[in-house]
């Protein structure tokens, strides 16, 4: 394990892992940005093949003046970059200085609402200001606080959350640039922060169109690659709608955070975890946040939409599963007449509630949360002339089943590979193809990750790494140039360490074949 100290205090020690499953105060305190590049301290020796820049994004400011965000995901976006060259690491960090950041800083308090925090006008403001604020929240104009991820469209990079606003950024200096509204290019009100990329440089994503021309639907779209010399034109001007999927409820679309893609298919999960649009429109007046408008409907099934990428149409077979809540797809691939996809599933929607800052102070046993389960599903592609009641999964790769119902639909039951993994990543060279290894954060005691794990999906064994008083982030696997195997490379992890502030770990042992 190589450590790169790029934070607040120096220091490092290694001993038996004795984590607290509650959120450490360091995880919800304001972090000071460091916009000027500096050479971080490296403890160990970096692989000589490791070159390039790692961009990370996430909440970094939780208190503005006397006001505090309620939810960890609401914190203002802090962008970080780690540039690797000649065994050195150059670090810098900057806050995303969009409309939300600037408004909050000018007011010296939180004045822009986030999903888990409803902002109200200063009680000292006059009636007119309060009335205008109310009207603005009745038809909400969402935040541009893109603290979830970075997306590449064409040659440009954007900080994103899941609203219709994204912010272009300079990936070298982390400077904030223009604000982009998806609605000017595609009729989508919300868009995932987990797109897919192909080897040609095209980007694929999905968003929700709410009551557009009287219909609510899910819209899959493609933003094509662009020549390196192309500048000045928004890549979204070339966005192409690939297909639309009707929502089963006009005013209660499904919430989703990611989707699956193979060489020939898209996999979209319409889960019974929904956003109540009418409640959202009245949330400000009722004194509740927008997150309270999410509702879990356990009496409903989960619909699995399998879409042909060439035709843009759903396949004729209808697939469904029992109720579940999914945030992250792991991967999907085609194998012997089946589309197989892996997800991290939950029995309820308690995960989001776990990240309310007040909730994070509770002891693990008092939280009552649903543990993440690694589930593998198999969708048979050929179902003609098969009798009802028969399992159509004939792939030896999995024990998942898909039983034909009397109405012709297939009830899909998963194979459970393990529990307690979240924020899954694979070697992205295997995206859409059969993979063996998965790198993820271990979240067995609570939603706060305490270790990094490498799952072998064939043996179901997990190799773990952890340090005392360190909370690892989502790992990023970097394959070695000319790698000879899927797991030939290293994982980059950005843990928060009480002893060393914000660090970067380059993990090699954990990604070698055990």
Which of 105-114, 159-168, 183-192, 503-512 has the lowest average pLDDT? Answer: 503-512
User: 410: phi > 0 → left, psi -120 to 50 → alpha, else beta; which?
Assistant: beta
Please answer whether residues 265 and 282 qualify as being in contact, where contact means their C-beta atoms are separated by less than 8 angstroms: no
pLDDT tops 50 at residue 142:
yes
Residue 33: name the closest of 119, 96, 108 by CA.
Answer: 96
What is the reported pLDDT for 81?
Answer: 94
Residue 64: name the closest of 107, 96, 31, 35 by CA.
Answer: 107
Q: Strand, helix or coil at 129?
A: helix
Residue 112 DSSP symbol: S
Mean pLDDT on 400-415 = 97
pLDDT, mean over the chain = 86
Mean pLDDT on 399-427 = 97
Beta pairing, strands 470-471 & 476-479: unpaired
Mean pLDDT on 93-104 = 97
Positive/negative CA dihedral, 443, 445, 449, 452: negative
Residue 353: pLDDT band with limits 50, 70, 90: confident
Distance CA 289, CA 116 (A): 6
Q: What is the pLDDT of residues 226-261, one digit of tens each?
A: 988 777 789 999 999 999 999 999 899 999 999 999
Residue 368: pLDDT band with limits 50, 70, 90: low
pLDDT tops 60 at residue 128:
no
pLDDT tops 50 at residue 10:
no
**Helix intervals (H) in 421-504:** none
Q: Which residues are CB-contacts of 306 (< 8 A; sequence separation ≥ 6)?
A: 265, 266, 267, 314, 315, 317, 319, 339, 379
């Amino acid at each position: 394990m190589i450590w790169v100290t790029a934070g607040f205090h120096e220091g490092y020690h290694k001993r038996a892992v004795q984590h607290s499953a509650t959120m450490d105060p360091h995880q919800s305190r304001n972090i000071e940005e460091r916009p000027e590049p500096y050479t971080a301290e490296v403890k160990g020796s970096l692989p000589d093949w490791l070159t390039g820049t790692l961009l990370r994004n996430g909440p970094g400011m939780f208190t503005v003046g006397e006001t505090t965000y309620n939810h960890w995901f609401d914190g203002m976006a802090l962008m970080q970059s780690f540039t690797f060259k000649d065994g050195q690491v150059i670090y810098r960090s900057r806050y995303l200085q969009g409309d939300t950041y600037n408004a909050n800083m000018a007011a010296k308090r939180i004045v822009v609402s986030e999903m888990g925090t409803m902002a109200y006008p200063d009680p000292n403001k006059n009636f007119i200001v309060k009335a205008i604020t109310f009207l603005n929240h009745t038809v909400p104009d969402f935040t541009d606080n893109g603290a979830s991820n970075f997306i590449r469209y064409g040659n440009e990079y954007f900080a994103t959350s899941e609203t219709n606003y994204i912010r272009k950024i300079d990936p070298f200096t982390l400077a904030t640039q223009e604000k982009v509204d998806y609605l000017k290019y595609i009729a989508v009100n919300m868009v995932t922060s987990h797109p897919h990329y192909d080897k040609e440089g095209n980007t694929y994503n999905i968003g929700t169109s709410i009551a557009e021309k009287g219909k609510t639907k899910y819209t899959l779209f493609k933003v094509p690659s662009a020549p390196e010399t192309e500048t000045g034109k928004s890549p979204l001007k070339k966005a192409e709608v690939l297909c639309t999927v009707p929502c089963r409820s006009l005013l209660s679309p499904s919430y989703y955070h990611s989707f699956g893609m193979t060489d020939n298919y898209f996999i979209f999960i319409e889960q019974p975890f929904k956003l109540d649009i009418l409640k959202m429109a009245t949330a400000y007046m009722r004194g509740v946040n927008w997150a309270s408008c999410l509702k879990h409907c356990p009496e409903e099934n989960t619909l699995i939409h399998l879409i042909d990428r060439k035709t843009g149409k759903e396949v004729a077979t209808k697939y469904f599963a029992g109720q579940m809540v999914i945030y992250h797809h792991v991967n999907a691939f085609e194998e012997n007449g089946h589309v197989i996809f892996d997800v991290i599933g939950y029995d309820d929607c308690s995960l989001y509630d776990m990240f309310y800052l007040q909730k994070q102070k509770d002891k693990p046993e008092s939280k009552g949360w649903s543990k993440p389960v690694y589930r593998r599903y198999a969708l048979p592609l050929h179902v003609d002339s098969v009798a009802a009641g028969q399992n159509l999964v004939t792939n030896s790769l999995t024990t998942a089943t898909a039983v034909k119902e009397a109405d012709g639909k297939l009830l899909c039951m998963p194979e459970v590979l393990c529990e307690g993994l979240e924020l899954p990543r694979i070697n992205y060279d295997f995206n859409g193809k059969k993979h063996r290894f998965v790198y993820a954060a271990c979240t067995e005691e609570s939603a706060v990750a305490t270790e990094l794990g490498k799952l072998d999906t064939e043996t179901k064994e997990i190799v773990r790494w952890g340090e005392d008083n360190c909370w690892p982030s989502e790992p990023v696997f970097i394959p070695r140039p000319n790698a000879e195997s899927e797991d030939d490379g290293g994982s980059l992890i950005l843990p928060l360490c009480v002893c060393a502030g914000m660090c970067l770990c380059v993990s090699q042992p954990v990604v070698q074949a055990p």
